[in-house]
Amino acid sequence: MSGGAEVDGGRATAETGRVRVAAGGPAPAKGRVALVTGASSGIGAATAAALARRGYRVVVQGRDERTLAEVATKVAGVPVCADLSRAREVERLAERALEVGGGRVDILVNNAGVGWMGAFDAMPTETVGQLLAVDLAAPIALTRALVPGMRERGFGRVVFVGSIAGRLGVGGEAVYAGAKAGLDCFAESIRGELRGTGVAVSVVVPGVVATPFFERRGEPYTRRWPRPVPAGRVADAVVRCVEGGAAEAYVPRWLRVPVVTRAVAPGVYRWLAGRFG
């Protein structure tokens, strides 16, 4: 393959013949393999469906074998049932995804997450460990396992589904917010390391989403505002990041306002948060 030849939306280097796609350029779906975690329901299931419609071959992870199999059937994907609170199962998931992809995973969507609502001192110790394992350690481990191959091939997308809680902090969800904040910082750090490699790193920052997450955290969402957005809107943002390589996306977009306010006028932000919650 000669240097400079256009192949599959990228450019092959003269030195290695590897295809490189600019991190901010479009991601061609043909032949690409995507791994979506937390795909049994909600954002993950919607993201898997959206990627499958665009031609990606999808590997879906979840803990509920029955519902995961249903999602996999709908998207013509491959289900891998795994508990991401267990390090060995995270390793097994990465190995299985690479096996399905013939040695490659091009798109990694780190979406799986668990939450817990209540006073921090009432949170069971084992729940703290489980939450940090699923929400922070597992995404880091999967990224570590799969990004070297992306970098070698000169193309990849890593999308982290974060939370506005990780940008602002939320009373009653201290550990969850801390884990998501850690994910933000990790994403920003590896983005710098991967600059120029063809591997893009994105963070999708949703607010309240209409999924079973709130019931599972132990307390349903009861506030009138902000109103929950459909999971499909978050999935659309994930796909836009996959296809365009954007560094971040807020869902809904107005969530950027309180984040900017907190950054430039923290006193004003805290006064508003104390007054309006």
Q: Map residue 190 onto helix, strand or coil.
A: helix
Please measure the distance between the N-terminal and C-terminal CA atoms of the chain and give it in whole angstroms: 59
Place of tokens 């390090």: 87
- Token readout for 126 is 């084992």
Residue 258, token pair as written in the block: 């309180």
Among 56, 176, 250, 269, the one annotated catalytic = 176
Query: How many angstroms separate the CA atoms of 27 and 9, rounded?
Result: 8
Q: Decide: 111 and 84 in contact? Cβ < 8 Å.
A: no
Amino acid making up residue 225? W
Cα–Cα dist 252/257, whole Å = 11
56 has catalytic annotation: no
Determine contact, residues 247/201, Cβ cutoff 8 Å: yes
- Four-residue CA torsion sign, 100, 104, 108, 114: positive
Spatial contact of 190 and 209, defined as CB atoms under 8 Å apart? no
CB-CB contact of 141 with 183 (8 Å): no
Number of other residues whose CB lies within 10 A of the CB of residue 128: 16
Would you please indicate which residues are annotated as catalytic (active-site) residues? 176
